[in-house]
């Protein structure tokens, strides 16, 4: 099962949306978190997959790897 602690909302991308669409994403994220908390894992995973594949969730690990790669390419 996905560890949601490794992900956060891409607020830059979300803030570019119209207000109604932005609120829909916030609601979906909230519902995902509550579903995980309530152990409704199939529902939570469905929300997660939708948000992740739509580009609204950022993986902390991927972001750190990208930072390291960028730092190494600058120092090379």
- The total of structural domains in the chain comes to 1
How far is 53 from 70, CA to CA, in rounded Å? 24
pLDDT score for 31? 97
Average pLDDT rounded to a whole number, residues 42-55: 95
The DSSP code sequence of 33-72 is HHHHHTT-HHHHHHHHHHHHHTT-EEEHHHHHHHHHHHHH
Residue pair 69/14 in contact (Cβ under 8 Å)? The answer is: no
Q: Which domain holds residue 57?
A: 4-75
**How do residues 10-46 score in pLDDT, each as one tens digit?**
999 999 999 999 999 999 999 999 999 999 999 999 9
pTM value is 0.77
pLDDT score for 48? 95
**Those residues with Cβ within 8 angstroms of residue 21's Cβ, 6 or more apart along the chain or in another chain:** none
Residue pair 55/13 in contact (Cβ under 8 Å)? The answer is: yes
């Amino acid at each position: 099962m996905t560890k949601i602690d490794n992900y956060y909302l891409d607020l830059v991308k979300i803030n570019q949306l119209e207000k109604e669409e932005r609120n829909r994403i916030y609601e979906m994220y909230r519902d995902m978190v509550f579903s995980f908390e309530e152990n409704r894992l199939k529902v939570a995973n469905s929300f997660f997959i939708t948000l992740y594949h739509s580009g609204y969730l950022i993986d902390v690990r991927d972001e750190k790897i990208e930072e390291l790669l960028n730092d190494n390419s600058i120092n090379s």
